[in-house]
Amino acid sequence: MIRTLDTHEALRRLEGAINTLSQVEGKDRNEIASDIRSIGFDVVRSRVPDELVFEDTIHLDQAVSYTANIKKLLAASATTEITPDLYFFRVKKEASQYAENCRFGHTFKGSFGFTIESPVTPNVEPVFPGMEQMPPFARRVIQRLARGIKVIQEAVETQDPAVAVRGFQTGFSANMCEEFANLVQYTAPSGMGFGFLLSPEWPAPQLGELWVGPQHVEMSQVAAKSMREQAPMQPLEIYGRIIRLQNEADPQDLLDQTHEREIVICWKSDEFGDTSVRLSLGPADHLAAVEAHLRGRTAHATGRLE
């Protein structure tokens, strides 16, 4: 028979369980309670160095900078996880929603620290030996963030921005590099520590604390610039009305390759909004565009957006 416990009895048993775990694990009771609560979250702890802390406090503008920039970094990390590329033009809706769902936890002492909690979904799939599980999206976002910081550290150690550029598929995109640089530069210019506590709900190797400083900010900025100078890896298909035609040559002369022919397509995209896309065309394609414009047809094009 199942007996319902009253609130007092339930709290007594819960406290007893926490005390037992505290003794077995050799941890403080508060640590045990925090570990239990963290089952549903991956935790990012950002630590500010001692010289910026006065009587366990920091300047308010530093706190404002951190909360604003960590949210942007999480959204950029989520967008990059959805579409791993050198850079992106706009944060995806799903990524923005993910960042909105993250929570700001208690600050912690010890050089003063911020806590960000990234919710993870329950693991309801059975685990079989030798079989790897696909972690949920939120876990992959946090792992990308940690990998990206480690890659930036490697780039600084080797003094080679190409290390960070080559690691974009699993680490930082240009956007992540920029948001990461802003976070550190405007929160703690002398440096910050980033620790990651992954929920045991989805087993994975735990990550140590990663310290970065001004040289990592500079490397992130250099890597971001290098990435943006390259074409995005993912081709796009655009479609829309032709709103402008330009041709310096005779439209009927399909053999003339010396003059510039250009069209502008009004592209309505959920990701980029209303965008005017300019295309340079050969003679035959430009003539086809003229025909489409006269008949009010939608134009299509595929390529890399710059």
Residue 207 and residue 111 share a domain: yes
Please enumerate in sequence order all residues whose Cβ is within 8 A of that of 120, keeping only pairs 6 or more positions apart, or say none: 40, 41, 42, 136, 138, 139, 199, 201, 202
Asked, for residue 9, whether it belongs to a domain, the answer is: no
pLDDT grade, residue 27 (50/70/90)? confident
According to the model, what pLDDT value does residue 150 have? 96
More confident residue, 252 or 267: 267
Of 182, 202, 228, the last residue of a domain is 228
What CA–CA distance (Å, rounded) separates 256 from 45?
A: 62
174 assigned to some structural domain:
yes
State pLDDT tens for residues 133-143.
788 999 999 99
Query: Starting from the edge strand earliest in sequence, which strands make up the sheet with 192-197, in order?
Result: 103-104, 113-119, 41-47, 192-197, 207-212
Contact between residue 86 and residue 176 where contact means Cβ atoms under 8 Å apart: no
50 and 199 in a single domain? The answer is yes
**Do 295 and 164 sit in the same domain of this protein?**
no
Query: Do 188 and 250 share a domain, yes or no?
Result: no
Average pLDDT of the chain, as a whole number? 83
Note the pLDDT tens digit of each residue in 158-201.
999 999 999 999 999 999 999 999 999 999 888 899 999 898 88
Whether 25 maps to a domain, the answer reads no
Same domain? 188 vs 272: no
Highest mean pLDDT: which range of 61-75, 93-107, 209-223, 228-242: 209-223
Please state, in angstroms and rounded to a whole number, the distance separating the CA atoms of residues 299 and 240. 6
Q: What is the structure's pLDDT at 34?
A: 65
pLDDT in tens, 219-229: 999 999 999 98
Predicted confidence (pLDDT) per residue in 59-94, tens digit: 777 778 888 999 999 999 999 999 999 998 889 999
Tell me the average pLDDT across 117-122. 90
143 and 240 in a single domain? The answer is no
| Same domain assignment for residues 45 and 100 | yes
Is there a domain that residue 184 lies in?
A: yes
Domain boundary among 228, 246, 268: 228
Q: How many domains does the chain have?
A: 2
Per-residue pLDDT band at 17 (split at 50, 70, 90)? confident
Is the per-residue pLDDT at 271 higher than 70? no
My answer on whether 59 and 143 are in the same domain is: yes
Has residue 217 been placed in a domain? yes
User: In terms of domains, do 165 and 294 share one?
Assistant: no
Phi, psi of 245 (to 5 degrees): -125, 135
pTM: 0.70
Domain around 297 = 236-303
241 is written with which tokens? 């009305």
The answer to whether residues 88 and 223 belong to one domain is yes
48 with 149, same domain: the answer is: yes
Residue 26 lies in a domain: no
- Mean pLDDT over 34-54 rounds to 76
How large a percentage of the chain has pLDDT more than 90? 36
Q: Give me the pLDDT at residue 251, please.
A: 57
Report yes or no on 150 lying in a domain. yes
pLDDT at position 38, please?
66
- Percent of the chain's residues with pLDDT above 70: 83
> Are residues 216 and 276 part of one domain?
no
- The residue from 212, 228, 244 where one domain ends is 228
Instruction: Give a yes or no: residue 159 inside a domain.
Output: yes
